[in-house]
Amino acid sequence: MSRLFAPLNQRGVTFRNRLAVSPMCQYSARDGMPDDWHLVHLGSRAVGGAAAVMAEATAVSPEGRISPADTGLWNEAQTQSWTRINRFLAKQGAVPAVQLAHAGRKASTDAPWRGGGPVGPEDGGWTPVAPSAVAFDHDSLVPSALDEAGIRQVVEDFAAATRRALAAGFEMVEIHAAHGYLLHEFLSPISNRRTDRYGGDFDNRIRLLLDVIDAVRADWPERLPLWLRISATDWVEGEGWDIDQSIALAERVKDRGIDLVDVSSGGTVPNAKIPVQPGYQVPFACRIRREAGIATGAVGLLTDPAQVERIVADDEADMVLLARELLRDPYFPRRAAHALGAGITPPAQYGRAW
């Protein structure tokens, strides 16, 4: 019997299998509002059989967007727009999920297909904020360093977005602390040069993330799961955030209401040497799962049903999150189920094809 297609229970939510849609920015929103593109994009993956369909990195504030075309959850109009989408996802048997995010110093950039460069105020951009006034690279905007009032506002923005996520019908929230965005910027000594209580040693660098987790969990019902995405390493030997610190963080967040650590890597520096190959990040998820004693999600160039089955069957991770493979094929879960001999029921409208 396929382990990949066994259900997973977390709190009061049952995931119908171990395949989830990883957050993927579409750069297609206006004023933070998801539209018909997002309904069809996310909805087709729910029809395709994924257990959880996670909306893209959704900003908790206007300045927290990666680009002016990112989705948000900082006002009621956005909440209403998400409600329609989530209603459809749930009808297809998928868990509607959202990744709450703040882009930090990597904010105010253009869509990738337009080069991804900085967007100035004259084109609808803004000055990014960060733990320190250090730009991501030579082409990026120099951010403003957050003061303590600004840090408190970030925590409140995450809490307010959590309340809106609940009102919009999301059933799982993931906090984005990876890929060089704001919460990861505080974690990594490469981007965090502060000398106050939010910088310096490990306990200080994780302080903001722990405050955000506490604030989100306080407003997120006990019956619903809360996930955390991290970059397990900056891929900068001896200087940045690394797997040992990730394990130590996972041990801390386990007792603060995080139900699964979604394990990615990189994003703090532009030219990190990353040994990219199929499954290259899975060992990080495996170590965190075994050493911290918390459920994990594996990501990264996972494209083959047998490969994905092994990850779960060998207890290397509890969930597998797919991104580009689900862009290529929204019905990958159904194809994988067929390949692994696990029957999953299609929507009635598609029954004639099965």
Ramachandran assignment for 301, one of left (phi > 0), alpha (psi -120 to 50 degrees), beta (any other): left
List C-alpha distances in Å: 285 to 116, 228, 310, 312. Answer: 29, 12, 14, 11
350 a catalytic residue: no
3-class SS of residue 9:
strand
Contacts of 44 (CB under 8 A, 6+ apart): 330
Contact 90, 169 (CB under 8 A): yes
3-class SS of residue 55:
strand
Closest residue by Cα to residue 316 from 293, 343, 282: 282
Question: Which of the 8 DSSP states describes residue 352?
Answer: G
Fill in the amino acid letter for 16. R
CA 170 to chain centre: 14
Out of 27, 181, 198, 331, pick the active-site residue: 181
What are residue 172's DSSP bridge partners?
97
End-to-end Cα distance, the chain = 20
Catalytic residues: 181
